[in-house]
């Protein structure tokens, strides 16, 4: 046996050595990287690479429906900048980034859940930028498995490829309790050629920063996957059932920092709940975003709190935000009492998982109506959605207080009911043409305003 063959066998041996699990219930493997340094981008099978991209323009207005004219709006077309709503941070102290006594940075774990407003646009990015402006490092700890979902942006990823064999189970769409992870969604794929999922975790400069990666899954019978890191050799792994009956964890270690991971289902069905990221240099602040377009707070109300806690692997968050209400407010027959009951169930479940976390409820933005130019404009009720959103914000403040959550009124920041029209006629335009979503600049300003209310930035409007 020559020296080259010895080196080859040694490399393959490393590939099948089980590393010491980080926890008793973890299953761990160590994989080898390709011999050459992977420096390109993922080339997706039968498709172009799909790096995360900023969303396109906000949802277009339906055919023949337009924003009301200035003449129809009158004074509502005027833009009235508002100070960000004041928050009593003594009731949410763990949003503070610094130790108040020593005025020194402290590790924080923060997470936000919400709908399309946080899923695609720069809203959450502005909050993270505000933290970085404190010279603190920020990173994702729990990556949701929502890559490939329409209008979901995952800045953690440099790129990804996902096969057409993946389906999605969304708890907000279900009528009964769902065993989902913190993403409030499970991704599901059965063995087959379209079960592949490739992830590129490198930075924009193609630098690998992960020391290990945990694949979080829900055991589903006899399941085997094939997995590789950094374009190295593929390793078959039979996923072990969890002794606790909750989530399972497959820990991927490697002989080099992990940049890319490729997996596919080779037997059975994989129920994927997300990924826990371990960094070579752990960020001081972790900031996880769980945004799902069209979602409502029912996602939390229908979720099994024990399943969410299990998927988080015993970890928790210091501070959390729930941004919901727009999709609940789309029903012109809005039932306030039913919403009180639904939100109460939502916050009960949330507090079952995070009993001590500081909490902020971000209410829905203001919302307008569009004019059908083939209809009559003399009977326009310009505030019909705005009044519903105002009720939702009021309920969030009322019910939230019962669960030690403070409420942030996005609608108030926009100038109150009808303020969206001034945003639509402002220069630059801040409201989308559907009068429901913001433009990118509108989301940026909203993120800056919320960061201000949380005490992360100073005066937004210096005199």
What is the predicted pLDDT for the residue at 80? 87
> Taking residues 135-162, what's their average pLDDT?
95
> What is the pLDDT of the chain when averaged over all its residues?
89
Q: Is the pLDDT score of 357 beyond 90?
A: yes
Per-residue pLDDT of 300-341, as tens digits, reads 999 999 999 999 998 999 999 999 999 999 999 999 999 999
What is the predicted pLDDT for the residue at 99? 79
Domains of the chain: 10-37+145-279 (2.60.120.260), 57-137+284-463 (3.40.50.1110)
* Phi, psi (deg, nearest 5) at residue 138: -130, 140
Local confidence band at 8 (pLDDT 50, 70, 90 cut-offs): very low
What is the predicted pLDDT for the residue at 279? 97
> Which of 93, 142, 112, 89 lies closest to 320, judged by CA?
112
Per-residue pLDDT of 204-238, as tens digits, reads 999 999 999 999 999 888 999 999 999 999 999 99
Q: Is the pLDDT score of 179 beyond 90?
A: yes
Q: Is the pLDDT score of 127 beyond 70?
A: yes
**Cα Rg for the chain, rounded, in angstroms?**
24
Q: Is the pLDDT score of 378 beyond 60?
A: no
What is the predicted pLDDT for the residue at 110? 98
What is the predicted pLDDT for the residue at 6? 32
Please give the residue that has the higher pLDDT: either 23 or 408: 408
Count CA atoms within 13 Å of residue 57 on its CB side.
7
> Taking residues 185-206, what's their average pLDDT?
96
> Taking residues 156-161, what's their average pLDDT?
95
Tokens 């936000």 belong to residue: 112
What is the predicted pLDDT for the residue at 406? 98
Q: Is the pLDDT score of 74 beyond 90?
A: yes
> Which of 154, 135, 99 lies closest to 283, judged by CA?
135
What is the predicted pLDDT for the residue at 240? 84
Per-residue exposure over 312-322, b if at least 16 CB sit within 10 Å of its own CB, e if not: bbeeebbbbbb
Q: Is the pLDDT score of 375 beyond 60?
A: no
Cβ–Cβ < 8 Å for 200, 299 = no
Burial zone of 164 (CB within 10 Å; 0-12 exposed, 13-18 middle, 19+ buried): middle
Q: Is the pLDDT score of 15 beyond 70?
A: no
Token pair recorded at residue 161: 């490829």
Give the contacts of 251 (CB within 8 A, at least 6 positions apart): 19, 21, 22, 26, 27, 28, 29, 212, 213, 214
Q: At what angle do helices 123-132 and 440-453 cross, to 10 degrees?
A: 50
Local confidence band at 16 (pLDDT 50, 70, 90 cut-offs): very low
Cβ–Cβ < 8 Å for 350, 362 = no
């Amino acid at each position: 046996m020559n020296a080259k063959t010895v080196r080859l066998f040694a490399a393959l041996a490393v590939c099948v050595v089980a590393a010491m699990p980080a926890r008793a219930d973890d299953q761990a493997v160590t994989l080898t990287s390709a011999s050459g340094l992977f420096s390109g981008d993922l080339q997706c099978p039968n498709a172009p690479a799909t790096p995360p991209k900023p969303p396109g323009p906000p949802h277009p207005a339906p055919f023949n429906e337009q924003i009301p004219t200035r003449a129809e709006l009158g004074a509502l077309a005027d833009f009235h900048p508002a100070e960000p709503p004041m928050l009593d941070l003594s009731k949410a102290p763990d949003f503070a980034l610094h130790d108040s006594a020593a005025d020194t940075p402290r590790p924080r774990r923060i997470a936000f859940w919400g709908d399309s407003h946080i899923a695609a646009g720069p809203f959450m990015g502005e909050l993270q930028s505000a933290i970085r402006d404190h010279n603190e490092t920020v990173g994702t700890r729990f990556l949701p498995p929502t890559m490939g979902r329409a209008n979901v942006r995952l800045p953690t990823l440099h790129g990804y490829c996902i096969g057409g064999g993946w389906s999605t189970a969304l708890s907000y769409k279900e009528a009964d309790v769902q065993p989902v992870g913190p993403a409030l969604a499970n991704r599901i794929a059965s063995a087959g050629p379209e079960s592949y999922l490739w992830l590129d975790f490198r930075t924009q400069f193609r630098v690998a920063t992960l020391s290990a990666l945990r694949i979080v899954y829900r055991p589903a019978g006899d399941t085997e996957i094939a997995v590789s890191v950094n374009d190295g050799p593929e390793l078959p792994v039979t996923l072990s059932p969890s002794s606790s009956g909750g989530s399972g964890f497959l820990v991927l270690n490697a002989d080099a920092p992990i940049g890319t991971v490729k997996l596919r289902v080779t037997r059975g069905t994989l129920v994927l709940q997300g990924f826990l990221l371990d960094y070579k240099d752990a960020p001081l602040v972790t900031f996880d975003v769980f945004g799902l377009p069209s979602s409502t707070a029912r996602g939390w109300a229908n979720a099994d709190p024990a399943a969410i806690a299990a998927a988080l692997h015993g970890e928790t968050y210091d501070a959390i935000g729930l941004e919901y209400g727009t999709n609940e407010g789309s029903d012109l027959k809005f039932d306030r009492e039913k919403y009180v009951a639904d939100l109460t169930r939502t916050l009960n479940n949330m507090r079952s998982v995070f009993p001590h976390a500081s909490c902020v409820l971000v209410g829905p933005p203001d919302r307008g109506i569009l004019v059908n130019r083939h209809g009559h404009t003399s009977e326009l009720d310009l505030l019909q959605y705005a009044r519903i959103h105002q009720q939702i914000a009021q309920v969030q403040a009322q019910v939230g207080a019962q669960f030690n959550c403070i409420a942030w009124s996005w609608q108030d920041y926009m100038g109150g009911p009808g303020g969206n029209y001034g945003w639509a006629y402002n220069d630059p335009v801040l409201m989308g043409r559907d009068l429901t979503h913001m433009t990118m600049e509108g989301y940026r300003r909203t993120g800056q305003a919320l960061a201000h209310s949380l005490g992360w930035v100073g005066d937004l409007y210096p005199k």
